[in-house]
Structure 1
Amino acid sequence: MLRVALFTDTYAPDVNGAALTLERWIDYLETHGVSTLVFAPEADSHLPSGPGVERLRSIPFLLYRECRLAIPNAKQINERLSAFSPHLIHVATPFNLGLYGTSYAAKHHIPLVASYHTHFDKYLEYYKLRWLEPALWKYMLWFHRHCERVYVPSRSTMELLRNKGMSQLEIWSRGIDTDHFQPKVDRHAVWDKWGVRADAFVILYVGRLAPEKGIDTLLDTYLQLPDDVRADSVLVIAGDGPLHKAKTAADMGLPEHAVYWLGFVKGRELAELYAAADVFLFPSTTETFGNVVLEAMASGTPVVGADEGGVKDNLIHGKTGLLCPPGDVAAFAEAVHLLYEDVPLRRSMSIAGRAYSLEQTWDRIFERLLDSYMDAATLHLSSQPITRI
């Protein structure tokens, strides 16, 4: 039976694309006869270690304070790994825990794989740290140098890393639960619950509220809509982060019921927001994949997104949504205006987006990834046959 140890600085109960994907992947492995051991930071709620998850003391991450960096405890980790005896080590973040995982793999001659989830280089410019970019890439190449595989979520990410000099790249795409995210919803009931005008044209944003997500572009796009369109529209923002309620409607010179900041929303309520909206507006340029784009399409909601990064790998311009030049407020406003005016186009994009999402099944994606795991593990352990169920 294959045994896999995962080192990650983001894991449940964190709510972000990487944490949710890794949690789902571990669940899949366990149900397919693979034993797993996860090393992750303790959460704010100080969750205790469980049978398959070892929690470690942690501190907030400078660029993303909702995430935490673990402080490796050598004795704690070594005892668990010695008892577990992994066939494969997977490092999902390139920080303290990832470094410990790579070091342990090298010392004990255990095959090593990595997954790349975040464009940290793109974050630097938003936090006035662009000068660190050359050193960051030098470190990233060094960190991944001994990996049998480096899993990336999209073709655009693969091309970026390949151009930077990284090798052994494979695409590990993302799937979507199309039973959870689906178009059927009582629109009026949803918006009544949130106090939003149900008869308005609803422009929705879901995601972290931080500079690197293009929140300024989001707000400026709404401001630049023609007066009559904006008067008939509302901007609904679901998420949390340092820019939560950075600008109220009054700050923007708008009527009170023009912009709604809902805070963090999850589960069924989040799925309802997607399905009840008319357009999903997502100007972020820093995505390696963009899970929220796929969630919106599965919900039958046309997407207006930035023509960069993982977003452009999911959107088919003119069919499942509209792509705009990064940061081009006029182009974003024009795209939203077009979808406001053209109801048949919205409907056709809704149907096409839903059809696309139905093809993105987790089982198919995970089956390919498990095959890759097996190849990586047995490459160095041919003398110890490993089976899977």
Structure 2
Amino acid sequence: MATATGPPPPHDLNTFPDGLRGRRILLCTESFGPVNGVSRTTLMLVNHLRSHGAFVAVVAPDNHTKANTFAPVRTEDVGATYRQEVRLTGYPLPFNPELSIVYPVRLSALYQRTFGGPPDLIYLASPASLGFQVMLQLRKHSAESQVPIISNFQTDLAGYCKILFPGALGSFASWMFARTQGYLFSHPSVKTIFYPSSFVRRYLEGVAGVQGEKLDILRRGVSTEGFNPARRSEALRKKWAPNGELILFTCSRLAGEKGFEFLAQAASELDRRGFNFKLVIVGGNRNTLVEQEVKEMFGSLREKKKVIFTGFKVGDDLTAHYASADVFLHCSITETFGLVVLEAMASAVPVVARDEGGPSDIVEHGKTGYLIPPHDLGGFVEKVIELGRSAQLRERLSRESHARACEATWEKIGNKVAWRMTDAIEKRETERADRKLSTTATISSAGVPTYGWLLMSGALRQLVVLGIVDAKLVIGLCTILGIWVGVSVYLVVSKVGHLAKALRPRTSARMRFLSGTF
């Protein structure tokens, strides 16, 4: 059991804590299911906790897919009110429709819709629109009724802002996200913030100003049963590279922030030097206009059939694609971890990556692959050519990559989270017991938030009449509202821009027809 101060004692990560069995965990995530690396990681954790007897209720935005997200478990032991998954409505992002900005929702409503009352612990996976709401509302619960929070910081929202928003607007949005995250994470209800790489810790401590004692590193695991060299398909290789070309591979959502401009430049330079290759790109984007913009970056390479876009792949099909490649190329510089890199290594495929973000902690330069300075296009291309010319070098890096990936097991990672959850729950129960012994004072607002939420009936009237709103809460509310307004304006402008691009070819063709140039 954790003490009142300092980090919890070390635990045996080979065992699951008995103290978490039968506990109620409210897990709020911005995406859930087969959507991206973050959501796949969250899904693995949910299945791990449930398989060991913890009751986990997942709250997430609608991902606009019909895919089954998890294997249901028996619920009779926890009562009729327990719902394993609750989907919320929101506004889908135009550049990534699988993700949504969740509309305002009451925390008390989430309690009722999942367990019929407060859970033992709240877990926030990569908090953004939903996680921010949860943390902000929990601040106005009494100390007695504040449910402990554990958060997993998996998405660099500030970094995305710098790429997605133009110029000064991107810098301002990035600064705003950092300030908001620092404010929310600093509250005593947030007990632990997991981070995946040293890059993220530097951001949380140095930029967001989060207390270092709350931070704990949490790597990601990989299923070595699924991702392994035995999945290699000679039929796929023959289909992609009938003339024995070196097969370069990447797997990512097709979006500008994933480094595709850099990848296109690297592929063009390889082609200019006469290097014999095929570049296979797995992934897509449900916004077809964004996907088309990425594909157009590769220009004449597509006409030469040097680049192959396969679309989305899942399951055995996905693992076969990984294992059938020769070299994995990772060009994104916004990844907090980079699960695709670990999946490539587990498939015994050496990696060439830009030395920024999570991959810097995964790839061991010269042993499992190569790390290249983020803007060194020439160095990136040279390493690809070096690997292409030496089958012996590729074989050595492949063995090392696979061995390193096999050390990252989901079992230990899931158990580490479970132990932290157990520590937080037991610490809260101890503190509540101590308070009962030391005071008999009545807690006027136990268990019930004293205010509604944005746009909810009577919310602002409650804030004014009750007179209990401190300045920091007002600032927090205004900040979140400002972010929503700013993002909403950006979404509208972005959608209009994409619509204009879609209509432009038709308009141009019509004008040429009317002018007689056909």
What TM-score comes out, normalization by structure 1 length? 0.91
1:160 to 182, 203, 228: 203
Moved more, 136-145 or 287-296: 136-145
Equivalent residues in 2 for 1:285-324, closer than 5 Å:
285-324=333-372
Point out the structure with max Rg over C-alpha: 2
The residue that corresponds to 1:4 in the other structure is 25
Asked if 1:217 corresponds to 2:262, the answer is yes
The residue that corresponds to 1:171 in the other structure is 217
1:239 to 259, 271, 283: 283
Q: Is the 8 A contact 2:256 2:294 kept in 1?
A: no
Give secondary structure in 2 for the equivalent of 1:68.
Answer: strand
2:312 to 253, 260, 264: 264
Deviation at 1:36, TM superposition (A): 1.1
Deviation at 1:170, TM superposition (A): 0.8
Q: Is the 8 A contact 1:283 1:305 kept in 2?
A: yes
Change (3 A) 1:187 1:54: closer
Equivalent residues in 2 for 1:122-137, closer than 5 Å:
122-127=159-164, 128=166, 129-137=170-178
> Which letter does structure 1 place at the counterpart of 2:218?
W
Give secondary structure in 2 for the equivalent of 1:79.
Answer: helix
Equivalent residues in 2 for 1:107-146, closer than 5 Å:
107=141, 108-127=145-164, 128=166, 129-146=170-187
Tell me, in whole angstroms, the C-alpha distance in 2 between the residues paired with 1:118 and 1:239.
19
Asked if 1:61 corresponds to 2:93, the answer is yes
Q: Is the 8 A contact 2:111 2:119 kept in 1?
A: no
Q: Is the 8 A contact 1:116 1:152 kept in 2?
A: yes
> Which letter does structure 2 place at the counterpart of 1:135?
M
Q: Is the 8 A contact 1:187 1:198 kept in 2?
A: no
Q: Is the 8 A contact 2:151 2:194 kept in 1?
A: yes
Q: Is the 8 A contact 2:91 2:102 kept in 1?
A: yes
Tell me, in whole angstroms, the C-alpha distance in 2 between the residues paired with 1:349 and 1:260.
25
Q: Is the 8 A contact 1:215 1:283 kept in 2?
A: yes
Give secondary structure in 2 for the equivalent of 1:184.
Answer: helix
Moved more, 259-268 or 284-293: 259-268
Tell me, in whole angstroms, the C-alpha distance in 2 between the residues paired with 1:372 and 1:21.
17
Give secondary structure in 2 for the equivalent of 1:285.
Answer: coil
The residue that corresponds to 1:278 in the other structure is 326
Equivalent residues in 2 for 1:17-166, closer than 5 Å:
17-45=37-65, 51-61=83-93, 64-74=96-106, 76-80=109-113, 83-103=116-136, 105-106=138-139, 107=141, 108-127=145-164, 128=166, 129-146=170-187, 147-164=190-207, 165-166=209-210
Moved more, 79-88 or 300-309: 79-88
Change (3 A) 1:85 1:350: same
Give secondary structure in 1 for the equivalent of 2:294.
Answer: coil
Give secondary structure in 2 for the equivalent of 1:212.
Answer: helix
Change (3 A) 1:133 1:85: closer
Aligned residues between the structures: 382
Cα deviations across residues 38-60 of structure 1 (Å, max 9, x unaligned)? Answer: 11112314789983011111211
Give secondary structure in 1 for the equivalent of 2:279.
Answer: strand
Deviation at 1:62, TM superposition (A): 5.6
Tell me, in whole angstroms, the C-alpha distance in 1 between the residues paired with 2:101 and 2:109.
16
Cα deviations across residues 85-120 of structure 1 (Å, max 9, x unaligned)? Answer: 311111224334213322454413211121111111
Give secondary structure in 2 for the equivalent of 1:309.
Answer: coil
Tell me, in whole angstroms, the C-alpha distance in 2 between the residues paired with 1:33 and 1:198.
53
Deviation at 1:249, TM superposition (A): 9.2
Deviation at 1:367, TM superposition (A): 1.1
Give secondary structure in 2 for the equivalent of 1:83.
Answer: coil
Q: Is the 8 A contact 1:245 1:261 kept in 2?
A: no
Q: Is the 8 A contact 2:95 2:255 kept in 1?
A: no
Tell me, in whole angstroms, the C-alpha distance in 2 between the residues paired with 1:263 and 1:381.
49
Moved more, 376-385 or 318-327: 376-385
Unaligned runs of 5+ in 1: none
Deviation at 1:290, TM superposition (A): 0.3
Q: Which has the higher helix share?
A: 2
Deviation at 1:292, TM superposition (A): 0.3
Deviation at 1:375, TM superposition (A): 1.0
Give secondary structure in 2 for the equivalent of 1:369.
Answer: helix
Tell me, in whole angstroms, the C-alpha distance in 1 between the residues paired with 2:183 and 2:430.
27
Equivalent residues in 2 for 1:318-357, closer than 5 Å:
318-357=366-405
> Which letter does structure 1 place at the counterpart of 2:42?
L
Asked if 1:371 corresponds to 2:419, the answer is yes
The residue that corresponds to 2:484 in the other structure is none
Tell me, in whole angstroms, the C-alpha distance in 2 between the residues paired with 1:310 and 1:48.
29
> Which letter does structure 2 place at the counterpart of 1:133?
S
Moved more, 74-83 or 103-112: 74-83
Give secondary structure in 2 for the equivalent of 1:381.
Answer: helix
Unaligned runs of 5+ in 2: 1-21, 73-82, 434-518
Q: In angstroms, what is the RMSD of aligned CA positions? A: 2.5
Q: Is the 8 A contact 1:244 1:263 kept in 2?
A: no
Q: Is the 8 A contact 2:261 2:297 kept in 1?
A: no
Q: Is the 8 A contact 2:237 2:325 kept in 1?
A: no
Calculate percent identity across the aligned residue pairs. Answer: 29
Change (3 A) 1:117 1:259: same
Q: Is the 8 A contact 1:250 1:256 kept in 2?
A: no
Tell me, in whole angstroms, the C-alpha distance in 2 between the residues paired with 1:119 and 1:96.
14
Give secondary structure in 2 for the equivalent of 1:338.
Answer: helix
Asked if 1:203 corresponds to 2:248, the answer is yes
Deviation at 1:267, TM superposition (A): 1.3
Deviation at 1:70, TM superposition (A): 2.1
Tell me, in whole angstroms, the C-alpha distance in 1 between the residues paired with 2:67 and 2:263.
36
Moved more, 104-113 or 242-251: 242-251
Change (3 A) 1:271 1:17: same
Give secondary structure in 2 for the equivalent of 1:202.
Answer: strand
